[in-house]
């Protein structure tokens, strides 16, 4: 167990809908990262937050957004969902000043 929690574990929704994925980092970790894992694209970095502020952005779609709250948990919002958004979404966290990222168990999103 990495100490990173993600909810829900599974999410099934329809095209055009909006969903919110939630992540709680390890105790004391200030950085939260979001990654998408799909069969054709592999593991891709989406966005990073550090202590509530956006710090780095990957190839995140404009339909996707994220935020990190004062209690350091983070949410990834996916809107106008398309079939191609079906994937595993992972959250990772790291402590300030360190490189090591610990991954959560992921949320499997299925868009029908």
Partner 1 sequence: GENVEQHPSTLSVQEGDSAVIKCTYSDSASNYFPWYKQELGKGPQLIIDIRSNVGEKKDQRIAVTLNKTAKHFSLHITETQPEDSAVYFCAASMRGSGNTGKLIFGQGTTLQVKP
Residue 58 interacts with partner 1 (CB under 8 A): yes or no: yes
H helices of 19-108, in order, are: none
**With respect to partner 1, which residue has the nearer C-beta, 15 or 51?**
51
Residues 84-103 that bind partner 1 (CB under 8 A): 90, 92, 94, 96-97, 99-103
Cβ pair 15, 81 in contact under 8 A = yes
Interface with partner 1 (CB under 8 A), residue total: 28
Place of tokens 């499997």: 108
12 is an interface residue for partner 1 by CB under 8 A: no
Cα angle 59-63-65, degrees, rounded to a multiple of 5? 75
User: With binding defined as CB under 8 A, does residue 61 bind partner 1?
Assistant: no
Identify the CA nearest to 34 among candidates 11, 59, 9.
59
The nearer residue to partner 1, 70 or 97, going by C-beta atoms, is 97
């Amino acid at each position: 167990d990495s100490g990173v929690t993600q909810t829900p574990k599974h999410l099934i929704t329809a095209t055009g809908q909006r969903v919110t994925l939630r992540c709680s980092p390890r105790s004391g970790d200030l950085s939260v990262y979001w990654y998408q894992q799909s069969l054709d694209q592999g593991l891709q970095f989406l966005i990073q937050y550090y202590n509530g502020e956006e710090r780095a952005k990957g190839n995140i779609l404009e339909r996707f957004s994220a935020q990190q709250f004062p209690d350091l948990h983070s949410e990834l919002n996916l809107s106008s969902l398309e079939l191609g958004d079906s994937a595993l979404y992972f959250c990772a966290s790291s402590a300030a000043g360190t490189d090591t990222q610990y991954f959560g168990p992921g949320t499997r999103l299925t868009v029908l």
